[in-house]
Each structure stands twice: as structure tokens, then as C-alpha cells.
Amino acid sequence: MSEEINWEQVLEWDKKYIVRTWNSLREYKPVPIASTDGDYLIMPNGTRLLDFFNQLYCVNAGQKVEFINNKIKEALDRYGFLQDAYTTDYKARAAKLIIEDILGNESWAGKVRFTSTGSEAVETALNIAKTFTNRPLVITREHAYHGFTHGASSVTRLKGSRNGIVETDPKSIPRHVPGRADMIAIAPAPNCMRCSLGHKYGSCHDENGELACVKYTRRLIQNHGPEQVAAIITEITQGAGSIHPPDEYVPQIRKMTKELGILWIVDEILTGFGRTGKWFEYQHYGVEPDIITCAKGISSSAIPAGAVIVSKEIAAFMDQYRWETVSTFSGHPIAMAAVCANLEYMINENLVEKARQAGEYIKVKLEELKAKHVSIGSFGGHGVLWIVEIVKDDKMTPYIEEDRNFTHEADALTFPTKIIFNKALEKGVLLGGAVPNTLRIGASLNVSKEDIDKAMDAFDYGLSYLESLK
């Protein structure tokens, strides 16, 4: 198939007709991919790249799963398109699989509303939380990423991911989208390696054992008045911002929201559907949310889909009203068929347990690398999502001082993550991170031990080269 494609023509049209992101046109270098397979991308010349980004941490079941593709083909024999006012077996079954089969042994989950993307799921969650509480304010955190749409980007705080445009001069100031719906307040992230409050983990707990960042968040909400605050929205492992919290953070945040009477929205768009070795990351911490947002792994990206899962209490509230909202593609029959197939495949193949086991192995490999390389300052994660802090020395000095407040530079060969990316690429492995000093490791939930070894060898090679530059 790919030999019939004129790839020179493809690259020419791509540059000529598509508004690209992250690089200016002058800097943009298109990367042609002819096909995909499992954890691999295949280039037109046959080169196979092991994708340890798992695209955007969204191909949970792996690329081009035959079972999922066949179910999509079956749906295409039945449907073109039906809008959300109609009911299909696919949409009803997708909701039942999530609420009963996956969350059935938990007391909180009530109902699902489907979307087409994660950003739309966050928009919907913010709408529901503010409607349910009739309050205007949402608490977010430093370095959070919740999406690109107007409301979602108002709670997105990762400096280099707020839809801004930046001159190609590295010292230029980003120009952000003016006039967003900024009814937000910003709490500190649980970023122990680079604590914004100046604490060191282990000495930041108060007399009740509460973390300083949780205490700050509590006081922030008390200062605004809890009666003004609809919710706090949190990722647990921050994906784009690349932060894995200390174990006590999540239970303490949940305890605080209950005490102050505000909702907790957990954004599981990147961490959900098995990525961390549980169906949802909050389940590692013995807590239950009020609302969760999901996308990516809900369909393993075979067809775009997202969802908001609300508590029984919120579902019962919404059921009382005529909710005047609509989205053309909510519950799209082919997308719902992909969700059903993906979830059935994950359940039948026990992919969540496979991710947990892969995580145990990745942890051992990272411990071996940390013993060998001073440039691994710390790492944290579970399943097939790991965050690795890259440092200059045993004093945890960052290579890039701005760290998460950096400004994107297309060919930032000074960023350690970019240097490691380029060396890993020599080994046929895609491995890197969105922020300069922090590598983020991901793969499909059924990644093989051999491919983990291959990726870790490429990481070792990149770290050795980075350390040779000093």
C-alpha cells in the first residue's frame, strides 16, 4: 500500500495546506508514518519505531487490534451516523460496561455522558460541577493540563501548553489567548522535587501530618470561601506537566474536599482505563471521586471518544431537569462500537493486570538505571506511566532552570529530554517528555518485556551520552 503513495507529494501538501502546532512552518519537519502495529510505527521506508510515548498515552490496547477493528467493521455495516437523541445498543452497552462491569463494585458511580475528546469531557465536567453547585469558581493546580478548549484551557496551567503563540526567538514572550473564562484559583502542585513552597519532602508535614501543598490548597479555598468554589479539578499523575504525587497527597486532598464541601473532579483522561495498573488511578488511594473525565484509553484511540462519569447524587440531580445542551457527535454509533470493543478486549485479555505487571518490571529497570546514572534524580509512577526527573548532579540541579515554566523551543538541543530523545531514536525508540527536565515513559498496556528492555537500553544510551557532555 505505501509504495502506491507518493510520500514526497504527501509532505508537500502537509506543509502547504495544514496549520501545524508546536513548530513554526520554518522549523516544521513532517514525520511520515505509513502504518502502525502494536507498539510500533512503521515509516514508508520500512523503519520500525518503538513508541514509548504510546502516541499521547492513548493507545492503551495497542495499535490496530484485530478484535476491535472487526467490531468497528461490523458497526459500519449497520450504521452511518445517529445523533445523541437516538438510542443504539452500542451506546447503552458502553455506558453499562463502564458503570456496572468496570465500576460496579464501587458505590459512587452514577451515569455517563459521552463526548468526542478529552477537552470536551473537561468542558462538560466543569459545566456539570458549576450547575450542580451553582458556584462560579474552580480550583486547579500549577502545571496542570486539562485540554485546549476555552474552559479546559482556563484550568490548564502548564505554561508551555496554554494555546499561546511564541516567536521562534527563544527569549520571546508567549502571546496567550486573551479574555478566557478565568474563574479559577491556582493551588501548588505536589511537585516534591521542585516544590513551589520551598519545602523538602519528609519535612513539609504539619502536626497533623498534612502536606504543606494540601494545607496551602485548603487555605486558598477558605480565602475564596468554599461557598464560592464548585470543585477542585486534579489529574493524579500529571501527564503533560509530568508530576507523580507522594502517596499521601490524594487521600489528603479528598479528605479536604469533603471537609470543605466542594466537589472533586479527577481528570483520568490520560491515566484512565488501565494505564496505571488499575482501571482508574484514583483507585490506588482508597478514595472515590464525585466526577471523572476520561478519553484516550476509553477506545484506545481506535475512534475518538471521551466521557464524563458522574456520581449517583449528581446523576439524580441532572435527571430532574431539561438539560439544554447538545453535541453533534456525542454517542456516535461507530465510536461507541469502538468503546464497547475496546473495553471488552481489555476485560477479556486482562490488560489492566498486564499493565500492573509491566509496571513492576519497569520499576526494576528504572532502579537499575538510577543506580548507574547520577542524572536520574528521582522517578515515580505505576503501570505503564512513569515520570523520571533528569538532573545534573546529586544536588538535583536541573539542566534547564525554568523547568516547567519553560518556553517551547522547536529544536531545543539543550533540553535533556530532547538530547535523550535524539539518542534513543538512533536505537529505533521514541522516548522523551513534554517538559525539559522530565522524561515520561508510556507504552501500551500489553507491552512486551523485550520491548521494555529495548526502551530501557535506549534510555541508558541516551543518559550515558547526556552525562558525557558535562
What track of x and - describes contact with ligand 6DF for positions 3 through 42 (by CB under 6 A)? ----------------------------------------
Tell me how far apart the alpha carbons of residues 441 and 51 are, in angstroms, rounded to a whole number.
Answer: 10
384 binds ligand 6DF (CB under 6 A): no
What track of x and - describes contact with ligand 6DF for positions 272 through 311 (by CB under 6 A)? -----------------------x----------------
Cβ atoms within 10 Å of 39's Cβ, excluding its own:
24
387 binds ligand 6DF (CB under 6 A): no
In the complex, the smallest distance separating the C-beta of residue 148 from ligand 6DF, rounded to whole angstroms, is 6
In the complex, the smallest distance separating the C-beta of residue 239 from ligand 6DF, rounded to whole angstroms, is 4
Give burial (CB, 10 Å; 0-12/13-18/19+) of 139. buried
Cell of 194: 521542585
Pick from 145, 249, 264, 379: which binds ligand 6DF (CB under 6 A)?
Answer: 145
Number of shown-chain residues binding ligand 6DF (CB under 6 A) = 17
Q: Distances from the Cα of 5 to the Cαs of 17, 47, 133, 455, in angstroms?
A: 18, 16, 54, 30
CB-wise, 212 or 230, nearer to ligand 6DF? 230
Give the CA radius of gyration of the chain.
Answer: 22
Tell me how far apart the alpha carbons of residues 31 and 24 are, in angstroms, rounded to a whole number.
Answer: 15
In the complex, the smallest distance separating the C-beta of residue 325 from ligand 6DF, rounded to whole angstroms, is 18
Pairing relationship of beta strands 263-267 and 229-234 according to DSSP bridges:
parallel
Q: Distances from the Cα of 47 to the Cαs of 50, 125, 281, 385, 447, in angstroms?
A: 10, 42, 35, 25, 19
DSSP state of 21: S
Cell of 105: 463494585
In the complex, the smallest distance separating the C-beta of residue 189 from ligand 6DF, rounded to whole angstroms, is 13
**Interacting span for ligand 6DF (CB under 6 A) from 100-108, 234-242, 258-266, 307-315:** 234-242
Please, which residues bridge with residue 389 across strands?
378, 438
Pick from 38, 62, 110, 118: which binds ligand 6DF (CB under 6 A)?
Answer: 118
What track of x and - describes contact with ligand 6DF for positions 417 through 446 (by CB under 6 A)? -----------------x------------
56 binds ligand 6DF (CB under 6 A): yes
Amino acid at 204: C
Q: Of 416, 425, 422, give the one whose Cα is nearest residue 389.
A: 416
Cell of 440: 515520561
> Helix crossing, 333-348 with 66-78: angle to 10°?
150
Pick from 110, 188, 190, 239: which binds ligand 6DF (CB under 6 A)?
Answer: 239
Pick from 267, 389, 403, 460: which binds ligand 6DF (CB under 6 A)?
Answer: 267
In the complex, the smallest distance separating the C-beta of residue 178 from ligand 6DF, rounded to whole angstroms, is 21
Report H helices in 18-99: 54-57, 66-78, 89-96
Instruction: Point out the residue whose Cβ comes nearest to ligand 6DF.
Output: 118
Cell of 227: 461557598
Q: Distances from the Cα of 100 to the Cαs of 93, 107, 115, 300, 343, in angstroms?
A: 10, 11, 19, 20, 12
Q: Which of residues 121-140 bind ligand 6DF (CB under 6 A)?
A: 122
Pick from 54, 60, 63, 117: which binds ligand 6DF (CB under 6 A)?
Answer: 117
Pick from 193, 214, 240, 420: which binds ligand 6DF (CB under 6 A)?
Answer: 240
**Interacting span for ligand 6DF (CB under 6 A) from 3-11, 125-133, 265-273, 380-388:** 265-273
Give contact residues for ligand 6DF (rule: CB under 6 A): 56-57, 117-119, 122, 145-147, 235, 239-240, 267, 269-270, 295, 434
